[in-house]
Amino acid sequence: MTHAGIALTFGLVVLAMIYAVGEVSGAHLNPAVTIGFFLARRFPGRCVLPYIVNQCVGAFLASGLLHLLFPSNAMLGATVPAGSAVQSFILEFVLALLLMFVILSVSTGAKEKGITAGIAVGAVIAFEAMFAGPISGASMNPARSLAPAVISGHLGSLWVYLIAPALGAAAAVLTCRCIHESPCCSVVSQEMCR
């Protein structure tokens, strides 16, 4: 499978899951997204830990299945930086910020709104995986990186993929508030247009 195929697969899987379970659970497949929704006051605190535990259990089950099917594969989908850990940390922060910004912009509460929300989110994931995959792995998802790292034993840079997406999602909440809710940004925009 080519790099483009992998990137499209990332985006299409998320798109499909949003339409399949978005109405049930909000299609929270990513702990950073769950944290972002909580920080945006769109998701109850009592549900954060159960969601994150279930996301991680799902990731471990998927990684375990990959290990069973492909026992000779040393990486099992583990996310590792192509360059420095700092470079990947910054990139993963930015990727998660952009992803969470789009998710917050196309959702109401902790669920997607309208028929195009899944397309928007899936497209962002495919786009980010397309350009950042060769550099940082374009994980954007702590659970997606945690399970393959533990099962394959590639733990060296795991901290990048646990911390950067959560911080990026938190920054997206502030960015979204500034752009969509804060009167200061709308005043600045109006002044620039005069």
Domain ranges across the chain: 3-192
Mean pLDDT of 103-128: 84
Measure the CA–CA gap between 162 and 167, rounded to whole angstroms. Answer: 9
Whole-number pLDDT of residue 193: 52
Give the pTM.
Answer: 0.89
pLDDT at 137 exceeding the cut of 90: yes
Percent of the chain with pLDDT over 70: 90
pLDDT for residue 166 is more than 60: yes
Is residue 168 scored above 90 in pLDDT?
Answer: yes
170-190 tens-digit pLDDT: 999 999 999 887 665 555 455
With cut-offs at 50, 70 and 90, classify the pLDDT of residue 115: confident
Residues in the chain, total: 194
pLDDT of 92 above 70 = yes
- Hey, what CATH class is 3-192 in? mainly alpha
Among residues 27, 192, 165, which one has the least CA distance to residue 98? 165
Residues 6+ apart with CB under 8 A from 5: none
Structure confidence by residue, pLDDT tens digits, 10-69: 999 999 998 888 888 888 899 999 999 999 999 999 999 999 999 999 999 999 999 999
